[in-house]
Structure formats: C-alpha cells, structure tokens
Amino acid sequence: MARLIHRYDAQVIVIGGGVIGSACAFRLAQAGRDVLLLQFGTPERAASFGNAGHIATEQLFPLASAEVIRSSWRYLLDTDSPLRLRPAYLLALLPWLARFVWAARGKSFKRGVAGLLALQQSALVDMVDLLADADLAHLLHQRGHLEVWETPAGEAAVLAQAQRLGAYGIKTAPWALADLRSQLPELGQSVQGALHYPGSGHVEDPWAVCSGLHLALQHSGGRIRQGRALQLHADKGYANVLLEDGSRLQAQQLLVCAGAWSRPLAASLGYRVPLEVERGYHITVGKQADGVMPPRLPLPVASNERKVIMSSMSMGLRMTGTVELGGLHLPADPRRLDLLQRQLQAMLPGIDSRQASNWMGFRPSLPDHLPVLGAATRHANVFFAFGHQHLGLTLAAVTARAMAQLMHSGHSPIDLSPYSVSRFGG
Ligand SMILES: Cc1cc2nc3c(=O)[nH]c(=O)nc-3n(C[C@H](O)[C@H](O)[C@H](O)COP(=O)(O)OP(=O)(O)OC[C@H]3O[C@@H](n4cnc5c(N)ncnc54)[C@H](O)[C@@H]3O)c2cc1C
C-alpha cells in the first residue's frame, strides 16, 4: 500500500497574532517546535492593541451573573450607559443572550468562577516568566491598582465586592483620602475614597507586548507570515489552512487564536461555538495642545461607578471602558467616545483631551465568560485558544504555558476540561 508523504510548511501553525497567539507561538518555539504564526490585518484590528493593559488578577466573576442580568435591562438601550446593546444587532444577538442568561444561573455562575480562578491563580506569575523569557520584563509594573468611589453607594459597592473577592484570597487595603489627594493630586475632588488591590499589575503598552513577543518568536526560530485563514481541514497526521489568496499551508498541528474572528474557523471543522464580541473603546491622551504630556498616575485607577479604568502608558494616559453588544461590522458609535471623554474630564478635571486618539476593539466572549482552550474533540491535531473576553492580556501567559505543553507533550499542566469546546455541544 502506498504511503502518503505529507510536506509540511511548519510543524505548528498558529492562527492570529494578538496576545494569545503570539504568547502561544513563542512558548511553542521555545519548546523546540518549528512554528509559523499566521497573522492578518493591522495591529489596531486586534483587541490586544488598545486594551487597558491591566493584569486583572482580581477579576474572578463572569459577566453572566444574576446581578448583571438584574441591572442590565434598564440600561441596555440607554446610549449613556456603560453596557449597551446596538438595536440593529439585537436579532443576531438573541441566541447568545439566551445562553448568557442561562450561564448566569447559580450553578453555572459557580462553575464560571471556578474556571476563572483556576487560570487566575498563576496568571501574574506566568506573565512575569513570559515577559522575562521574551526580554520584555521592563513593560510590566506590579504596583496594583486603585478602585475609587465618589458616593456612599459607590463606596458600599466597592467594599462589598472586595469582601466577596476576599473569600477567594484576593487582597485589598484601604487608601487614606489624604494619601490619595497627595499621591494623585490630579484626581477630581468628587473622588471620596479608594481601595488598593496590591496583587494586580499593568503593562505600559499592550501592543509592545505583542510586537515584542513576535520578535522573541523570531529569535527562537519561529516565523511570521501575513495572510488570512479562511478554512481549516484536518485528517490523520496533518492539518491544513486555506488562505484568502487561494494557497494552502500544511502542518502537523494547528492552533486557532483568532480572537473575535475564531468562530468561522472553528465552524469550518464542524464546531459550532457561540462566540460573540463585546466591543470596547479607549481614548488615549498623548501630547496635549501645549505640547505637554498628561499627568502620570503612579498606578491605574478604576471606577466601578463609572465602569472605566485609566492608566498611564508609555504613549500617554489611556481611559478604557464600556461594553457594547454590536457584533463585528457596525461602525463605532461616537457617543461612546464622548462618554469616555466626559468620564475622563470628571475624573481628571482640566486634562486637555482634545487631541486624544480614539479606538474601538472586539473582546471575544463566550456566554459563560470562559475561554475555549484545549484540543478540538474530533480532530487530534487541531487546538483552540480563544474567547478570553475582558481578560486576554491577563490570561495570555497562563494560556500559552498550558497550550504549549499540551501540544508538545500531550499533557496540560492545568485541567482544561472546563474550557473544552465540547461544552457547547457543537
Ligand atoms: C477596551 C478594551 C479593554 C480591555 N482591557 C483589558 C485589560 O486591561 N486586561 C486584559 O487582560 N484584557 C483586556 N481586554 C481584553 C483583551 O484585549 C482581549 O481579551 C485580548 O486582546 C484577546 O486577544 P486575542 O489574541 O485572543 O485576540 P486579538 O487581540 O483580537 O487578536 C486576534 C488576531 O487574529 C487576527 N486574525 C483574525 N482572523 C484571522 C484569520 N482568519 N487569519 C489570520 N489572522 C486572523 C486578527 O487580525 C488579530 O490580529 C480589553 C479589551 C478591550 C476591547
């Protein structure tokens, strides 16, 4: 019987050069694999380009919760609310919304918390290791962040949340108002208090993390190719990718890390994954009109009342926020950016943000707020790592360690069953 000889373009093809794909590709190359990273589009297209840079180790609660469901109905269609549904997208979103409501039930919510906790436990340590190995340690700061409040109700909410998180080992410490005024004198006088989360971190330029990982990948022998994957095929011993230009790339293993665009790639192999996008916006104030850079905050400042976080980065001061359910194709809503401008003026009165740059990005989100991680259940040589919602930067390094070991040795150091693609039955 004639033996089929496969010619491979690489041992492993990783699809998607955002923070998840870049971290996985680097870890695989470090493990000695011949890796090709297939990347499509400009940096700005990736959620990894414009995020808040927050290593949010304190975020353990999935968005799908009874609390969010209770409060969301009243402001989903309000143009000024932090959570918004674009009416033109409502019909397309209904199946995802139904699953989201289902995931908010007590038992599923608890499963979601356990799933996030298992990844968060080593997220920061993994990030420290990853950035050190890629020679990018200088990008990470570990001073924690502040949650501020402006009203007694805001204070009560911040303290209640801290108490809930404390039950899972998340540490917080009060910051005296006098310290807040002296260390962050630019903050508006409406801010009445703050709680410090010492265990979180932040990076000073999220895209510098990705581009640095690309370089580190190349130094470890990996390659990067521009191209858009359209379809995947897999059989015993090989897997291939059909590209938009009609060419095919063949590998022993494929890893799909295409963020918000992963759904059609998984579907081309028969996996029906209810992946949606939570659109988010940022404004970044670089040089102000007088040529002076905006004030530097010693650590990131988040407001639960305003649902925003602001952070000093190497390119200026960035405020991010808002969740907009509106799919991949509707244009950005300028009212969301106006809202961020108003929030910024309220929190840092007088900052000159007229020349701020604007951006909108796509958080890849499954209804239960857990990513899809692990092997494709019906194709031994295809793997998935996508759907990291609000936590892709935070969880990139732990994801990369788990996926690289799984793909290299067949065993993940973390139990990946809670994140299996099979949980959606597709
Ligand atoms: C406003 C905002 C603030 C955020 N803040 C934080 C934060 O502070 N901390 C945190 O942890 N997370 C944060 N996030 C979430 C985080 O940015 C995402 O979870 C993360 O960037 C997802 O990374 P990714 O690599 O999966 O996807 P992406 O970064 O979107 O990268 C996917 C890449 O794949 C490419 N691609 C897509 N389709 C194809 C194809 N067919 N072929 C080839 N390439 C393809 C895309 O062009 C893109 O470059 C934030 C997100 C937003 C929007």
- Sign of CA pseudo-dihedral 61, 63, 65, 68: positive
228 lines ligand 1 (CB under 6 A): yes
**In the chain, count of helices (H) and strands (E)?**
12, 20
Q: Are 255 and 12 in contact (CB under 8 A)?
A: yes
Residue whose tokens read 């020679």:
135
Token reading at 318: 């960035």
Give me the percent of the chain exceeding a pLDDT of 70: 97
pLDDT band at 221 (very low <50, low <70, confident <90, very high): very high
Cα–ligand 1 centroid distance for 48 (angstroms)? 4
pTM, 2 dp: 0.97
Q: Which of 40, 57, 268, 365 to mutate to test the pocket of ligand 1 (most atoms within 8 A of CB)?
A: 40
Every domain of the chain and the residues it spans:
60-85+140-201+276-365
Taking each helix axis from N to C terminus, what angle separates 392-409 and 106-120, rounded to the nearest 10 degrees?
A: 80
307 lines ligand 1 (CB under 6 A): no
The amino acid occupying position 185 is P
Number of the ligand 1 atom closest to the C-alpha atom of 243: 42
259 lines ligand 1 (CB under 6 A): yes
Cα–ligand 1 centroid distance for 298 (angstroms)? 26
**Ligand 1 atom 26, closest CA:** 259
Residue whose tokens read 């709680």:
195
**Ligand 1 atom 21, closest CA:** 48
Cα–ligand 1 centroid distance for 339 (angstroms)? 23
Neighbours of 350 (CB within 10 A): 9
**Ligand 1 atom 16, closest CA:** 392
| CATH class assigned to 60-85+140-201+276-365 | alpha beta
- Say what the pLDDT of residue 425 is: 83
pLDDT band at 1 (very low <50, low <70, confident <90, very high): very low
Least confident of 74-88, 205-219, 375-389: 74-88
Q: Are 13 and 254 in contact (CB under 8 A)?
A: yes
Give me the percent of the chain exceeding a pLDDT of 90: 88
- Say what the pLDDT of residue 74 is: 66
**Ligand 1 atom 1, closest CA:** 280
3 burial type by CB count under 10 A (0-12 exposed, 13-18 middle, 19+ buried): exposed
**Ligand 1 atom 22, closest CA:** 392
Cα–ligand 1 centroid distance for 19 (angstroms)? 7
Number of the ligand 1 atom closest to the C-alpha atom of 258: 34
Mean pLDDT of 260-270: 98
- Say what the pLDDT of residue 181 is: 95
Closest listed residue to residue 316, CA positions, set 337, 294, 343, 288 = 294
**Using one digit for the tens of pLDDT, what is the confidence trace for 362-385?**
999 999 999 999 999 999 999 999
